[in-house]
């Protein structure tokens, strides 16, 4: 299977990409616990990206996102999936990717990259053992330095009643960044809903921000109180929302620095 995509930007820059992929798969008919069937697939991919070098000096330049970089590279990847089939009582089966694993690397075809044409190796892993739990890991191995240079780990647990817990951890050795966050939503006190979020800088060993939310919901309206405490100041925000209308007012106040 081949995919072709061409994107034309407003300034006349053309981004071109094409992908060639295929799939090899095997289905295991023997039930495993609640799983009625399990499919294992292997999907090799080869993708080519091209963006010409265009003079953009006349455009505003606030950060790196304001420039479209030149690209002429070939990416090759191998994807593996384990997909489960669950037969329901109504006869309509449901499916879920239990495991998704993608390994990829790119080769830069530009002349200025001929001394180090190979990119870092990237590994992406997603685990969905249940409908209410998810784990995602995204890591990069620097082949030139011989080390794992970047990690992103995300975990999420939730139920159907809006209770949830999310954890995020990121580390980048090249940028000297190490960051974590936690989000908690509590709904078992209905009609009162609580939320808490914390962000922490492990590199500087300091808390970045704590946010506490208290929301009272009724059928036609709700009121939300947010208390925010970060390394700059403290603040409180009270807002009101009408169903079908949206926010209708609120009040906020700063509580001074730490």
pLDDT, one tens digit per residue, over 184-225 is: 999 999 999 999 999 999 999 999 999 999 999 998 899 999
The answer to whether position 161 is within a domain reads yes
Number of structural domains (the chain) is: 2
Question: What is residue 116's predicted lDDT score, i.e. its pLDDT?
Answer: 86
The answer to whether position 138 is within a domain reads no
The answer to whether position 12 is within a domain reads yes
| 3-class SS of residue 52 | coil
Q: Give the domain range for residue 216.
A: 147-258
Same domain, yes or no: 113 and 155: no
Same domain, yes or no: 115 and 151: no
Question: What is residue 61's predicted lDDT score, i.e. its pLDDT?
Answer: 57
Would strands 121-130 and 221-230 be described as parallel, antiparallel, or unpaired? unpaired
The answer to whether position 94 is within a domain reads yes
Burial class (CB in 10 A: 0-12, 13-18, 19+), 57: exposed
- Residue range 111-168, pLDDT digits in tens: 887 888 999 999 999 999 999 999 999 999 998 889 999 999 999 999 988 999 999 9
The answer to whether position 212 is within a domain reads yes
Same domain, yes or no: 20 and 89: yes
pTM: 0.80
In contact, 13 and 68? CB cutoff 8 Å: yes
Q: Which of 103, 119, 135 is the last residue of a domain?
A: 119
The answer to whether position 133 is within a domain reads no
Of 209, 202, 217, 203, nearest to 235 (Cα)?
209
Cα–Cα distance measured from residue 193 to residue 170, given in angstroms and rounded to the nearest whole number: 28
């Amino acid at each position: 299977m081949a995919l072709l995509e061409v994107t034309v930007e407003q300034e006349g820059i053309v981004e071109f990409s094409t992908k060639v992929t295929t799939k090899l798969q095997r289905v295991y008919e023997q039930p495993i616990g609640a799983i009625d069937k399990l499919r294992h697939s292997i999907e090799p991919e080869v993708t080519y990206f091209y963006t010409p070098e265009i003079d953009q000096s006349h455009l505003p330049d606030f950060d790196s996102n304001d420039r479209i970089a030149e690209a002429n590279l070939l990416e090759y990847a191998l994807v593996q999936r384990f997909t489960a089939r669950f037969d329901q009582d109504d006869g309509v089966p449901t499916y879920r990717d239990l495991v998704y694993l993608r390994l990829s690397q790119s080769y830069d075809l530009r002349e200025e990259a001929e001394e180090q044409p190979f990119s870092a190796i990237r590994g992406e892993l997603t685990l969905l053992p249940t409908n209410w739990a998810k784990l995602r890991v995204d890591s990069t191995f620097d082949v030139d330095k011989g080390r794992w240079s970047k990690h992103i780990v995300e975990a999420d647990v939730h139920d159907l009643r809006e209770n949830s817990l999310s954890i995020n951890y990121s580390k980048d050795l090249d940028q000297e960044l190490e960051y974590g966050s936690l989000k908690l939503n509590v709904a078992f006190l209905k009609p009162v809903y609580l939320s808490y979020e914390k962000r922490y800088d492990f590199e500087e060993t300091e808390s970045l921000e704590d946010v506490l939310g208290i929301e009272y919901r009724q059928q036609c309206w709700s009121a939300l109180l947010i208390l925010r405490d970060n390394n700059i100041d403290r603040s409180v925000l009270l807002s009101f929302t009408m169903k079908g209308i949206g926010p209708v007012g609120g009040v906020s106040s700063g509580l001074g620095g730490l």
